[in-house]
Structures are given as structure tokens and as C-alpha cells.
Amino acid sequence: MIITPRAAATNAGNWHTAARWARFLRARFRVAVAGHWDGSDADCLIALHARRSADSIARFAATCSEKPLVVVLTGTDLYRDIGRDKAAQQSLRLATHLVVLNELGARKLPSAFRAKARVILQSAPALRRCERPARIFTVAVVGHLRAEKDPQLVWDMLAHVDPSLPLRVVHAGAAYDAALGRKARAVARRDLRYHWLGDLPRAEARQVIRRSHLLLHPSVMEGGAQVVIEAVTAHTPVIGSRIDGNAGLLGVDYPGWFKTGNARGAARLLERAMHEPAFLRKLARACARRAPRFAPGHERAAVNRLVDNALRVRTRKPR
């Protein structure tokens, strides 16, 4: 049983992770995906989100104490909730296995729980490289409008980019915050370089990324940014905030990071990519070196190993 608190209709990353893992496991297991655990029989529970799934985690641990319980830690879990939320902290204690989605994630866990953690990098099918128009430089931003994704940086950045440059910013994502949606519409009215597309099906959002010269990803909090993986596997270089959920995918020494919240720094990187083809190629080469880590076969094997290992140990140690 895979538990994710976000429904498919939300087009949220956690839902897509749950659906993808279910596909990977169905070749060998009977798998169900639900928003909460309703007491149904399951040999193993995989719960995404330590805080939002805390009730399901606690009930499964109490009812099926001899069975494995895997908790997959999201960005808000790792970089906010486990430091201050008692339900999220309890989920860490109850889990038999913890999963982080970037290579730096485990360092945010209390030391007592790190032995339970393993890294599983998410994946995306590779897309064929496409030619981008030479006359205008297109930057994709893909992320729902909410504080964690920092859409404000995108809008602030535009003020620091030379208005004479042939720039187009296309932004895909639903307005999870109504005030941010109003702001996106206002920016689009006054700045013709900015185009807010609203929510898009994942396949369409990937094509937006594929046709762009660059992905801008300014999040302040990520478990392991799926959109960065989708850009890399679409041959689109990335500039983004230097947070673990980004750097834990592309490396701390990746040349396309700017300080979190630094709109001026993001603008400098963007202008450099526009003015210096050698720099854009450098970003592309660095992404290409990382691309094999994000192959679906790697993630499939890691998820199946996780469940195999969990099912081997069916009795918990006393807490």
C-alpha cells in the first residue's frame, strides 16, 4: 500500500512519485495507492510525507507492528516539519525505513535515524533533443504558485534583466495561493516577457521545458526537485537556488546555482547564459554527466530493492 496525501487531480509531485513507484512495483507485487490507510491488509506500507501521512503511519504501526513501514521524506518534511512538528517526528520514530530523494537529504535527519535512511533518486524518461529558436531566449519555470517554489523571485528577477534582451519566460503551474495567482496575472499584463500558462498536464509541461533554452528553478524547499530531473533528461540546462533538494541532484559544485532568494544573482546567471554560449554549453555538459542517475531503470531497481529489503525484516525491534 502506497499512501500519498495529494490526489491525482492536484498534479502534485508527491502524487506522481506514488503513481510511478506503483508502476515499478506492480510487476512483482499487488499495489494499491490511496490518500490514507483505511485498515486494508498490506504486507508493507509506503507513506509519502511524514507529517501529512502521520495518522496513517501511526495507525499502521499500532495495528501491524510486525510489518515494514517505509516513510518517504518530502521537502517540507526534511527542511521544516521534522525540526518542529511532533507528528512528523513521531513518523521518523515509527518508520522501519526512511527514504530521502536527494544525495544530501540524510544530513538533515537526527543522527539516531540516519541508519534507517537510504537515497532513491527520482527519474524521468529521456526526451529527444530539439532545436530552440535562435531569435529569442526562452526560460521555463515549472512549479505551482506557492511560497516554497518562490515565484516571487521569478518576477523580481525580471527587473534585473536588461529589457532590450530577447527574453521570454514561460511559467507553468497552478495558483495554489490565490494571491500569487493574482500577482502572476498582474506581472504578465505589465511585462510582455512573462507568460503564465497556469496548470498543465505533466507531459505538456515537459514539452515546455524541452523547447526552452534554460530551466529556472528558484525553490526555497525541495525534497528532490523532480522538475530539475525532467529538465536534465530533456537536454535543458538548469539554473536554480543552492538548496539541498537541487544540489543533492546536480552536485554542490554545479555552476548554475544562485543564493536562495537572490533575484539579482539569478538575473546575472541568466544574462550570462544568454551572452556566453560557452557558459550555456558548460551547464549542459554538467547536466549531461548527471543524466544517467535519473534513468527510470535505476529508480525502478532502487524501489524494488527497498521493498525486498523491507520485507526481509518483518519483526521490529522494541522502541
pLDDT digits (tens, 9 = 90+) for 262-313: 999 999 999 999 999 999 999 999 999 999 999 999 999 999 999 999 998 7
Q: What is the pLDDT of residue 314?
A: 60
Question: CA-CA distance, 17 to 6, in Å (whole number)?
Answer: 11
- Which stretches of the chain score pLDDT less than 70? 6-13, 314-319
Please indicate, yes or no, whether residues 277 and 308 belong to a single structural domain of this protein. no
In which domain, by residue range, is 26 found? 2-122+296-312
Please indicate, yes or no, whether residues 173 and 261 belong to a single structural domain of this protein. yes
Please indicate, yes or no, whether residues 304 and 287 belong to a single structural domain of this protein. no
Please indicate, yes or no, whether residues 302 and 187 belong to a single structural domain of this protein. no
What are the beta bridge partners of residue 99?
A: 72, 118
Residue 184 lies in a domain: yes
Please indicate, yes or no, whether residues 229 and 112 belong to a single structural domain of this protein. no
Q: What is the pLDDT of residue 13?
A: 65
Exposed (0-12), middle (13-18) or buried (19+): which is 4, by Cβ within 10 Å?
buried
Please indicate, yes or no, whether residues 205 and 304 belong to a single structural domain of this protein. no
Residue 182 lies in a domain: yes
The residue with cell 501521512 is 53
Q: What is the pLDDT of residue 99?
A: 98
- Sheet arrangement for strand 69-72: 33-34, 2-3, 45-48, 69-72, 97-100, 117-119
Please indicate, yes or no, whether residues 159 and 280 belong to a single structural domain of this protein. yes
Residue 131 lies in a domain: no
Exposed (0-12), middle (13-18) or buried (19+): which is 316, by Cβ within 10 Å?
middle
Please indicate, yes or no, whether residues 154 and 184 belong to a single structural domain of this protein. yes
Residue 130 lies in a domain: no
Please indicate, yes or no, whether residues 153 and 39 belong to a single structural domain of this protein. no
**In total, how many domains does the chain have?**
2
Question: CA-CA distance, 189 to 167, in Å (whole number)?
Answer: 16
Instruction: Give the pTM.
Output: 0.92
Please indicate, yes or no, whether residues 195 and 71 belong to a single structural domain of this protein. no
Question: CA-CA distance, 242 to 258, in Å (whole number)?
Answer: 6
Residue 264 lies in a domain: yes
Q: What is the pLDDT of residue 315?
A: 47
Question: CA-CA distance, 309 to 14, in Å (whole number)?
Answer: 23
Please indicate, yes or no, whether residues 141 and 287 belong to a single structural domain of this protein. yes
